Amino acid sequence: MRLWFIFLLPLLCCLSSRVRSEEDYSDVTVIVRGSETIASTSDMFVCATIDWWPPEKCNYDQCPWGRASVLNLVSSKNIPFYHVAFGVSARTKFCSFCEFSQDLTNPLLAKAIQAFSPLRIRVGGSLQDQVLYGTPNLGSPCDPFTKVSGGLFGFSQGCITLERWDAINDVFLNTGAVVTFGLNALQGRQQISRGVWGGPWNSSNAREFMEYTVSMNYPIDSWEFGNELSGSGIGASVGAEQYGKDLVELQTIINELYGDSRKPLVVAPGGFYDQKWFAQLLEVSGPNVLNAMTHHIYNLGAGNDPQVPNRILNPQYLSQTSNTFRDLQLTIQRHGPWSAPWVGEAGGAYNSGSRLVSNTFLNSFWYLDQLGQSAKYDTKVYCRQTLIGGNYGLLDTDTFVPNPDYYSALLWHRLMGNGVLSMDISGSPFLRAYVHCGKQKGGVALLLLNLHRSMGFMVSVRNDLNANVAEGQGIRRDSDFVHGLKRTVSWVGSKASDGYSKREEYHLSAKDGNPFARTMLLNGVPLELTEDGDIPPLYPVEVSVNSPIYVAPLTIAFVVFPDFEAEACGR
């Protein structure tokens, strides 16, 4: 049934655009400057986190973390392998799901990670600096977190056993995940005043944990040092001078443990950007110690703030984060050009996210927009809070079913290449646009976000090198034919002049037109797990490059031009 529907989609799209009145859409021109890139991302730009929060973590009279912690994700007390989204009959239909999980081998979790091939996973979060490692010389019982009055974030110290670490690494190895692990940077320090901690880092427990990790050949890509201890900190802070000295010690430990083999990166501080503190950290730690500066962003406000939906659709509000990306880029250039900017954690709304927004289609607008903004300022990695857990998980905490942002992340990962291009755009600020070199098929990939609730956009995409080539190709720009189409034709260069070249379009919309829907549509087809629990295929529609790109109100479109002439992209 779906095959005929997908076949007709290009025709339906064109027909629907023709019957719309001019009042329904606005004209926008995008000119892509393909001669050089302005920034670049890493191959594993898209990243997701796994946090430490236990089930007792609550905000706003709700406790949305369930058993999604590093310490208990899919433990024996969790849900069955089959998930409630399949319904009761699924228990007998999918026998592979019909047992209670004893470890981290839930197939839905594994398949969600494997679909990225690979996905970077950052293990860390607020309780990171209270984590002990259950090594032989720990000297105390290896107990989980418990709620305590007066504890940092209301919890005691917690411990991860080596057996649990083995189980987690089995998942990472089996799914091909690329791992960034956050170390406890408070160990050994003393609180010297309210929220301020001093003294050197005691590295003994972390070193023994790292020794075990190396002995087991667990391929850690990067070790991150601390979580939200920079500047004034969140709950606790450490001065930049001492932090920089401790980073030098961490780098020394890595050099000793890894010898001549490939060494993991050192990344820090995993906190909110503070220009003076970040600059001092780079200067104290010195050249080639800190490979990446990780910073956190939660720009939408508290999870219970009723203004969160309005902020997501406010282009001026969204653009404010560019200041942070720009400032961090300049700080690194001036004080530590050997380092690179990473977003180590970003969840939109803080305090576990918004229960009514963070797991809905609407949330993809700020998320994809921030991916695009950060990439323009040379951000190499962007870690979404979270892969699973809280209200902002890419996967539902209880069912492991992907939320809409999962598919947004997957499409970005598959389509948007490393090279970031500049562009000029005319028209309404409610149409956000970002362009990269294409990842799979060359050319360029364009992301279009229509934030307007009622206005659609007809988009003309032009190549700055060929914006005026039409007349030279035998088509006069002022001819009756061209005049009638000038608002909708995509001029992408001489390779598209014969009219036979195609582009690929991936239009994302909300089920039933409800922006708060938990189901996302791709070209009109619901994105749902297959009967075997697999991630569904993400098929585009192929459209002639000389047909209009229509971006409906409150929709998102990825558009790939495989034959676009962009010198910087090798075409």
Name the DSSP letter for residue 53. Answer: -
* Half-sphere CA count of 5, side-chain side, radius 13 A: 8
Question: Is it the case that residue 479 has pLDDT exceeding 50?
Answer: no
Tens digits of residue pLDDT in 281-295: 999 999 999 999 999
Q: Is the pLDDT of residue 472 over 60?
A: no
The per-residue pLDDT for range 481-492, each reduced to its tens digit, is 233 333 333 445
Contact 14, 31 (CB under 8 A): no
* Per-residue model confidence as pLDDT tens digits over 177-211: 999 999 999 999 999 999 999 999 999 999 999 99
Which residues, at least 6 apart from 40, have a Cβ–Cβ distance to it below 8 Å?
378, 380, 418, 419, 420
Show me where the domains of the chain are located: 41-75+101-417
Positions annotated as catalytic residues are 228, 345
Give the residue-averaged pLDDT of 526-530: 97
The predicted pLDDT at position 241 comes to 98
Mean pLDDT of the chain: 87
**Looking at residue 22, what DSSP letter applies?**
G
Read off the pLDDT of residues 35-71 as tens digits, 9 standing for 90 and up.
999 999 999 999 999 999 999 999 999 999 999 999 9
Reply yes or no on whether the pLDDT at 8 is more than 50: no
Q: What pLDDT does residue 442 have? A: 84
pTM for this one? 0.88
Structure confidence at residue 23 (pLDDT): 53
What pLDDT digit, counting tens, does each position of 340-374 carry?
999 999 999 999 999 999 999 999 999 999 999 99
Among candidates 400, 411, 389, which has minimal Cα distance to 506? 411
What is the average per-residue pLDDT within 208-224?
98
Q: SS in 3 state form for 478-503?
A: CCHHHHHHCCCCCCCCHHHCCCCCEE
| CA 383 to each of CA 45, 69, 72, 108, 123: distance values in angstroms, whole numbers, following the listed order | 8, 17, 21, 20, 10
pLDDT in tens, 94-132: 323 333 333 466 799 999 999 999 999 999 999 999 999
Q: Report the pLDDT value the prediction gives residue 492, as an integer from 0 to 100.
A: 54
pLDDT for 418-465, tens place per residue?
999 999 998 899 999 999 999 987 899 999 999 999 999 999 999 987
Query: What percentage of the chain carries pLDDT values higher than 70?
Result: 84
pLDDT at 476 over 60: no
CA distance between the termini of the chain: 38
Q: Which CATH architecture has domain 41-75+101-417?
A: Alpha-Beta Barrel (3.20)
Percent of the chain with pLDDT over 90: 80
Specify the range with the lowest mean pLDDT, choosing from 235-239, 380-384, 483-487: 483-487
More confident residue, 483 or 554: 554
Handedness of CA 239, 244, 249, 254 (dihedral sign): positive
Question: What's the confidence (pLDDT) of residue 495?
Answer: 53
Classify burial at 550, counting beta carbons within 10 Å of its beta carbon; exposed 0-12, middle 13-18, buried 19 or more.
buried
pLDDT at 384: 98
Residue 337, classified by CB atoms within 10 Å of its CB into exposed (0-12), middle (13-18) or buried (19+), is exposed
